[in-house]
Amino acid sequence: MSCDFMALATPGVQGLHPYEAGKPVEELERELGIHDIIKLASNENPLGPSAYAIEAVQKALAEATRYPDSNGFRLKEALHQYYGLMPEQLTLGNGSNDVLELIARAFLQPGDEVIFSEYAFAVYHIVTQACSAKAVITPARDYGHNLQAMAEAITENTRLIFIANPNNPTGTALMRDELTAFLAAVPEHVIVVLDEAYTEYVEAGDFPDGLELLPQFPNLVVTRTFSKAWGLAGLRVGFAAASTVITDLLNRVRQPFNVSHLALAAAEAVLDDGDYLARSVELNRRGMAQLEQGLKQLGVGYIPSFGNFITVDMARPAQPLFQALLHEGVIVRPLGGYRMPQHLRISIGLTNENDRFLRALKQVLAC
């Protein structure tokens, strides 16, 4: 008899399920033998990387035998120039997912409570559970965060609250007054993680900038990523901004070379490419309008979104529609794992990709 390794795992890990990522194009090619596939499943930037990033990576490749700068000096300097943040406030991560995990590892013990909302990003669940901490899930309001319910869920065992603004997978957003009132009401022993992965896309005037709130709230940690509007998802780089004390703690659990040399170089370079960011946002705005209009024409409901994706309500089990779309060569994201079995999330693509999705959807709805 072999050993029961499952029983040896920590209770948290025993209860975990692996993250389900968007289906890669190559995988669908292998499975169905089809070509000309479009992927609108992982909220990636459809523009392709910035020319600045490509050039920087090519240059950095020549130094690939060396370990990366474990302190990310140059990128932190560039972030200082761009956002006004001090290097002592910054923790660099292998994507912002890495930073979310560092926060959990630094602060969570078995039994500690972590609050997040229904329909929150799956990674909050994973990092909480991996630390054998207790997820306290509050009901959503209009698919978004119900801050009142979150505030009421706080106990003396609460260590962390995760809030994505805008939220993934629903695209909802919290505005400034509402968010700051909530932050003011949270006791200081509770760390609030404000995940701003999609912030660059938001154009609403009363949308809050978490970085500006940092001086006011010492228990606030803001996470940002280069994966979405900055177009570097494949390289894996993001960061947390927080007080110097919290930053010091996060850097104690960080692996010394967690961000690759290529990723550091690309992120530093892309911050100089303001034009790329502007084009990404503009493309997203137009693509969002195109999808909203197309969905209306098809009579398909959707949740108004502040991100680079839109979540549609198919008013019937969405998994078969997801499968049918795959056969049309269109990869979207089913949300059964988020307990939204009738919804699909569609990332905003290039104009022709959005068009192709709408035509494929019309086709599968007709069957």
Ligand X SMILES: *Cc1c(COP(=O)(O)O)cnc(C)c1O
Name which of 68 and 329 has its Cβ closer to ligand X. 68
Name which of 54 and 233 has its Cβ closer to ligand X. 233
Residues 265 and 150: their CA atoms lie apart, in Å, by 39
- The residues that touch ligand X, with contacts defined as CB under 6 A, are 43, 95-97, 121, 164, 168, 195, 197, 225, 227-228, 233, 238
Residue 169: cis peptide before it, omega within 30 degrees of 0:
yes
CB of 123 to ligand X, least distance (A): 7
Q: Nearest to residue 198, comparing CAs of 222, 231, 165, 170? A: 165
Q: Are 126 and 19 in contact (CB under 8 A)?
A: yes
Q: Are 265 and 59 in contact (CB under 8 A)?
A: yes
Q: Which residue is nearest to ligand X (CB)?
A: 95
CB of 30 to ligand X, least distance (A): 24
Encoding tokens for residue 5? Answer: 């390794």
Residues 119 and 94: their CA atoms lie apart, in Å, by 24
SS3 category, 6? helix
CB of 269 to ligand X, least distance (A): 17
- What is the side-by-side strand order in the sheet with 238-241? 90-93, 238-241, 220-225, 191-195, 158-164, 113-117, 134-138
CB of 99 to ligand X, least distance (A): 8
CB of 198 to ligand X, least distance (A): 7
Name which of 128 and 360 has its Cβ closer to ligand X. 128
CB of 78 to ligand X, least distance (A): 17
Name which of 45 and 89 has its Cβ closer to ligand X. 45
Name which of 261 and 364 has its Cβ closer to ligand X. 261
Q: Are 273 and 50 in contact (CB under 8 A)?
A: yes
Q: Concatenate the DSSP letters of all residues of 253-294 into one string.
A: HS-TT-S-HHHHHHHHHHTT-HHHHHHHHHHHHHHHHHHHHH
Question: H helices within the chain, ranges in order?
Answer: 5-8, 11-14, 25-32, 51-61, 73-83, 96-107, 122-130, 147-152, 176-185, 210-213, 244-253, 261-270, 274-298, 319-327, 351-366
Encoding tokens for residue 362? Answer: 């019309």
H/E/C letters for each residue in 28-80?
HHHHHCCCCCEECCCCCCCCCCCHHHHHHHHHHHCCCCCCCCCCCHHHHHHHH
Residues 332 and 326: their CA atoms lie apart, in Å, by 8
CB of 227 to ligand X, least distance (A): 3
Q: Are 121 and 268 in contact (CB under 8 A)?
A: no
CB of 29 to ligand X, least distance (A): 23
CB of 307 to ligand X, least distance (A): 8
Name which of 197 and 300 has its Cβ closer to ligand X. 197
Name which of 310 and 364 has its Cβ closer to ligand X. 310
Name which of 196 and 273 has its Cβ closer to ligand X. 196
Name which of 281 and 365 has its Cβ closer to ligand X. 281
CB of 83 to ligand X, least distance (A): 16
Name which of 12 and 238 has its Cβ closer to ligand X. 238
- The label of the residue with tokens 């024409």 reads 297
